[in-house]
A = this chain, B = another copy of it.
Amino acid sequence: MAKVKKAPRPKAQTPKGFRDYFGPEVTERAEMLEAIAGVYHRYGFDALESSAVETVEALGKFLPDVDRPNEGVFAWQDEDESWMALRYDLTAPLARVYAQHRNDLPLPYRRYAMGPVWRNEKPGPGRFRQFYQCDADTVGAASVAADAEICAMLADTLEVVGIPRGDYLVRVNNRKVLNGVLETMGLEDDAQRDAVLRTIDKFDKVGEAGVRELLGKGRLDASGAYIDGVGLSDAQAEPVLNFVLSKKIVLDRIENELGGYKDNTTAEYERLAQVWSVERGPDRQGGLRHTLESGQILLRRTLGFLNELVGASDTGREGVQELREIADLLLAQGYGPDRIVIDPSVVRGLGYYTGPVFEAELTFEIFDEKGRKRQFGSVAGGGRYDDLVKRFTGQAVPATGVSIGVDRLLAALREKGRSGGTVQGPVVVTVMDRDRMADYQAMVAELRNAGIRAEVYLGNPKNFGNQLKYADKRSSPVAVIEGGDEKDRGVLQIKDLVLGAKLAESASLEEWKERPSQYEVARGDLVAKVREILNQWA
């Protein structure tokens, strides 16, 4: 065989937009996924792990006009020229799995799935092309009881992973109410309706004034480009805006009513004042929550206002009724307005979902990159989508589900200092005498058999300082030393590295003397002494 000319050295880096996760990043996520799976399991959901690779057709990402997949997915051709792609979410694969296996699956089919998804998008700071999703969906249940249950499960999940009650809120809206509003307006042009939906989705970004402009003639966006509007008249845009702003309007009305009271001691005044103080009072930043009573009042007022908006539209009235049922079902299970609320200002996803939509928000404040206070924001979202399976089978199958942004949730826990971000390193048995490796391995085996994380230093043992540096880099709590002298005397030196580090940081000379961080113990006391030190720092 002729020698091949040497290829240039490859660069040691991930493709752009990808990254590696080390140690605690991996184990913390694994622990969170396990905790979430526990809740999903308790709610009766079964695990599903579909293949990471799908046909582009099954993903619905094939563009027949250009005979190529949508650029948003990572796709390639198989030997037989058919296109395959990495899944970009866990919902499209669920639809494929359900259509493929529906004869063998229970109906309704409740499944959860967790794993990476891939997006062929421009990466940015904190935006990667591979990330985790964690979904639970119920396929084949038309009842809003299925939606209510997902909301309850979402609240439970947040608490189980470490977000305490009061630090999150699940907010629920319904696409059908919006459909009712559009119906009442007589907006029947499909393209215009789609344009309205897309516009509303931008509310969180462009605000009330922006949406008003975009529903009308259009607006200059931040980059200076002019964005054409939907072309509604002011009168036409009004009901849509009223829907998006209904929470604000309801609260304005309550504020007005409160102003109109002469005698401030009626029970009705007290109740409305309670609503106002939670929503607009000076304390609301402090995490003041609705009580059962104030929540019920706000709910009644909100549903009443939505009924006004949808007028005689059957779809609209159905939507309002569904929201009422969801609130009732949740209340019956003990999920009050301190955890889950009906809130028409949830607009994200209204264009995608077909019925109830929900969003979980973390309500505590953090400082953003510019040092400004802001709420942490959304960590999960979902809703009802009744058309996904139809693509495959021709039959509409009702479905509802939620997707948790695991990486965002982990970031939130880190913000709150509820997640350590470190894993305790192993006890390191140092190598003083290369020829006695078997002795050191035996010590390590003893420690491991006692359930203690431990290892022998396996690098070049020549430089003892390197061994202690290694123990430091591994965040080792304890180092064990047995030189020839110790061996002869049947003893070990055991260094408490945590105490050692503390003393090095701050101790006075006297403390140094008083609190030695190194102990000489009999060889037979290895496990007992190490355990004693570990327990002290646990």
Contacts and interface: CB of A to CB of B under 8 A. Distances in A.
Interface in A103-152: 106-108, 110, 116, 118, 129-130, 138, 140-143, 145-146, 148-149, 152
Contact of A97 (B20, B26, B138): B20
A194 B16 CA distance: 37
Contacts of A347: none
Given A76-B74, A328-B438, A52 B52 contact: yes
A114 to B, nearest CB: 9
A96 B51 contact: no
Interface string A281-303: 00000000000000000000000
Interface in A404-427: 423, 425-426
Contacts of A23: 46-48
Contact of A456 (B46, B107, B140, B149): B149
B55 A11 contact: yes
Contacts of A30: 34, 37, 47
A145 B441 contact: yes
Given A145-B458, A333-B445, A10 B57 contact: yes
A129 B79 CA distance: 13
A312 interface: no
Contact of A14 (B7, B51, B156, B328): B51
B333 A442 contact: yes
A521 interface: no
A10 B58 contact: yes
Interface string A7-21: 101111111101111
A391 interface: yes
A57 B64 CA distance: 33
Contact of A392 (B10, B19, B130): B10
A455 B43 contact: yes
A455 B146 CA distance: 10
Interface stretch (A213-221, A336-344, A446-454): A446-454
B55 A13 contact: yes
Given A12-B393, A26-B49, A42-B454, 9 more contacts: A15-B55, A16-B78, A20-B97, A21-B47, A42-B452, A53-B129, A107-B470, A145-B458, A329-B438
28 contacts: A7-B62, A9-B391, A10-B55, A10-B57, A10-B60, A11-B58, A12-B100, A12-B392, A14-B51, A18-B53, A21-B48, A42-B448, A42-B451, A42-B452, A42-B453, A44-B426, A44-B454, A52-B130, A53-B74, A53-B129, A53-B130, A107-B459, A110-B455, A145-B458, A146-B458, A152-B445, A332-B439, A334-B445
Interface of A: 1, 7, 9-16, 18-23, 25-27, 30, 34, 37, 41-44, 46-55, 57-58, 60, 62, 64, 74-76, 78, 82, 84, 86, 96-97, 99-101, 106-108, 110, 116, 118, 129-130, 138, 140-143, 145-146, 148-149, 152, 156, 190-191, 194, 328-329, 331-334, 391-394, 423, 425-426, 428, 437-439, 441-442, 444-445, 448, 451-456, 458-460, 470, 473-474
